[in-house]
Amino acid sequence: MDPERAARLDNIRTPRGRYAKGVQRRNEILAVALEVFAMIGEKGALIKEIADRLGMSQPGVLRYFGSREGLLIWALAERDRLDRERTDREPRTDPISPMAATLRRSGEVAGLVRLYVSMAAASGFPGHPARDFFEVRNGDILIALCDGLTALQRAGRIRPDIEPEAIARLALAAADGIQHQWLLDPGVDMGGVIDTIVALVLDVTPTPGAPAEEGHDPPPA
């Protein structure tokens, strides 16, 4: 990978430069943005709504993120950060189950689900501003899942003939796909789909006296 692209991808995990300035104000904007996006997703006059709530101009809001797309990507990254903080406080015996809990919570913020599905689909186009974000996000999730699943396989809780990476990709694909299905049919149990994957591939009964699964932080859905 060329150095410029590597630096760009690394910057997604650790923002620097002009995006690192005005951290407090940026975080205030993100907090309001998540509230607005939760209600209406990425469509509508959302930038105006955010600006009005903060007593700012629309250009003033976007200045902290470079563009409208930049604000949307930052909002998704902030949603992921908050999800990670929440799952860190919850007990777990495998790396996949936290995805189910996150998806169930997502059912309470339909606008953020719409935003995620829309941006994830758009990131498939080369050159789209969200492509780097989703490349890094998905890569980090897969690494965390694979590490956790490999540890469980060594402990005899996953069949030895199943590749941990295949399970990880199945879980990630299910989490992405079920969100789109839920938007079409809100009666879908998003978390239940992930629970089914866990039931099919894992022995979720911990060995008596064994510690809970440890390793990388569980990923958001």
136: Cα separation from own chain's centroid: 11
Digits of tens for pLDDT over the chain (221 positions)? 556 655 555 556 555 444 455 788 899 999 999 999 888 766 656 888 999 999 999 999 999 998 999 999 999 999 999 999 998 888 888 999 999 999 999 999 999 999 999 999 999 999 999 999 999 999 999 999 999 999 999 999 999 999 999 999 999 999 999 999 999 999 999 999 999 999 999 875 554 544 445 445 555 66
- For the chain, list the domains and their CATH numbers: 3-201 (1.10.357.10)
Q: Where are the beta strands (DSSP E) in the chain?
A: none
Q: Which two tokens stand for residue 151?
A: 């540890």
CA angle 185, 186, 192 (to 5 degrees): 100
Q: What is the value of pTM for the model shown?
A: 0.82
